Structure 1
């Protein structure tokens, strides 16, 4: 079973509001960018990635949590983050029964996470380029 099928199965098992909520979050995530990849990690967590992890989704007893792996580094002009402020890296959106999420704002946050991942990826390549700025061994 591939990760998308596992996520489908998880949502189907959540027969209350949490399944509908997780399905809606998933739809917004996938609509934000066509190159997002669905993964299944940590023995049962849906993960969405593009050039690195974007977010992890989990259904808890009283909420659905969408945790952004680099949320602390993202601008959140629509104030979607409402959990995880104690840490220096992660931020989360806790959705409780009856809550609504601005889909457009969530898609913008997803795109910001992708841009962060892509910038981080480019930065990792930069040190090699910086080293090559000096004279080569042939020029010395």
Structure 2
């Protein structure tokens, strides 16, 4: 049997959920692909605890976000979320970190399509921006007793 593509693995993950979480993940996936037609779907962290189905990951010049399904919510974690403007306050989880931010969606939660699309596009812009100039190396501190 041929190895499944990442998109097929994500299809299988959504199907395996077989409830509102799968529907939510499918809806978010559609919005991500609409916001960035060049997005690459990958699957990472395949292990027995997630049935070897792994975690859906959407990438464009680096990770944009991941989609994890838990018992009571679907978590969309943006790898560089702390660097993204979020005027609509979609981020409601992992707010204390220096890099990531997340959106937890619970059963019945609506997804604000325009702000979510803007967030995806901002993540793409951040990933594709010219890298910052390297910082000059700092001189090593001399020991006080030298």
TM-score over 0.5 for the pair: yes
**What stretches of structure 1 move > 3 A for 4+ residues in a row?**
none
- Within 5 A, what are the aligned runs for 1:76-87? 76-87=86-97
SS at match of 1:80: coil
In the alignment, structure 1 segments of 5+ residues that lack a partner are: 128-140
* Cα shift readout 1:30-85 (whole Å, capped 9, x = no counterpart): 10011100001111000000011000000000000000000000000111000001
Question: Which has the larger helix fraction?
Answer: 1
Q: 2:51 matched to 1:48?
A: no
**Residue in 1 that maps onto 2:12:** 9
Q: Does 1:115 align with 2:121?
A: no
The CA distance in 1 between the partners of 2:17 and 2:45, in whole Å, is: 19
CA distance, structure 1, for counterparts of residue 109 and residue 131 of structure 2: 38
Helix, strand or coil for the counterpart of 1:99?
coil
Task: Give yes or no for the alignment of 1:71 onto 2:81.
Answer: yes
Pick from 33, 37, 42 the counterpart of residue 36 of structure 2: 33
2 CA distance for matches of 1:32 and 1:50?
12
Q: What secondary structure is seen at the aligned counterpart in 2 of 1:39?
A: strand
Q: Secondary structure at the match of 2:131?
A: helix
How many residue pairs align between the two structures? 124
Gaps of at least 5 residues in structure 2 are 47-53, 135-146
> For the residues of structure 2 that align with 1:79 and 1:7, how far apart are their CA atoms?
27
| Pairing 1:89–2:99 present | yes
Q: CA RMSD in A?
A: 1.0
Question: Residue 116 of structure 1 aligns to a residue in which SS?
Answer: helix
